Amino acid sequence: MRLRDTTVLVTGASSGIGRATAAELSRRGARLLLTGRDRSRLTEVAERTGAAQHLADLADPASLAELASWAAEHRPAVVVHNAGIGLAARTEKVDDSQLDALFRVNVLAPMSLTRALLPGMRAGGGGHLVFVGSIAGLLGVPEEAAYAASKAALHRYADSLRAELAAERIGVSTIAPGIVETAFFERRGTPYARRFPRPMPAARVADAIADAVEHDRAEVVLPRWLRFPVLLQAAAPNAYHALARRFS
């Protein structure tokens, strides 16, 4: 799908992957609708990219409903569901309010926005949905069980939509990045402390998102070598988990 002169909504656009995606899509000639929680940062990104903006908190149902109404009026042909929050803690330390916020932002908000915007895509003759997941949603991560579960739910939702919308000229892509150089780890309260794998720049993920739309790619795993453990887990789960315990 061509991005030039196409209206694209990007959630979580005020920083990190969303900010980089807005810049990349603008470079490719898209007309942008941006949303995020940080007013000053969102305004800065919008001014740099010539985008329309709408401040929203996806964990708040009322704010989400207002965003959905605003976006529907602009009828984006492409939606990049990028907004997400993290949570790192042992399972027994996670409380219900944390779980509620996690699933509201990472799962329920993308589902609600998709339902609200699909009619406009159909009326426009097609479109594309991008869901920014995580390698955690494909492999699981110790002490991030709830976060991994939320991203796994997003991946399965996207897979199901892809089959459901196949005959309607509406593409669906999932992007599963590994470690990315963003403020994600600071916001979740636990820094990234491993030497390997090394974090990749957000611009690399942004380029993959744009490429997935233009070439209708179903699933992109970044960096590419992470595809190997995903395939190993699917083909030989016992071997995968044995190796994961050894090298974790």
- 8 Å CB contact between 71 and 33: yes
CB 63 within 8 A of CB 112: no
CA triple 70-75-81, angle to 5 deg: 75
What does the alpha-carbon distance between residue 137 and residue 231 come to, in Å, rounded to a whole number? 14
H-helix or E-strand containing 57?
none
Catalytic residue (choose from 147, 157, 192, 240):
147
Contact 56, 67 (CB under 8 A): yes
Q: Which residues pair with 172 in a beta bridge?
A: 129
- Whether 192 is catalytic is no
Extract the tokens encoding 63.
Answer: 């704010």
Q: So which residues are the catalytic ones?
A: 147
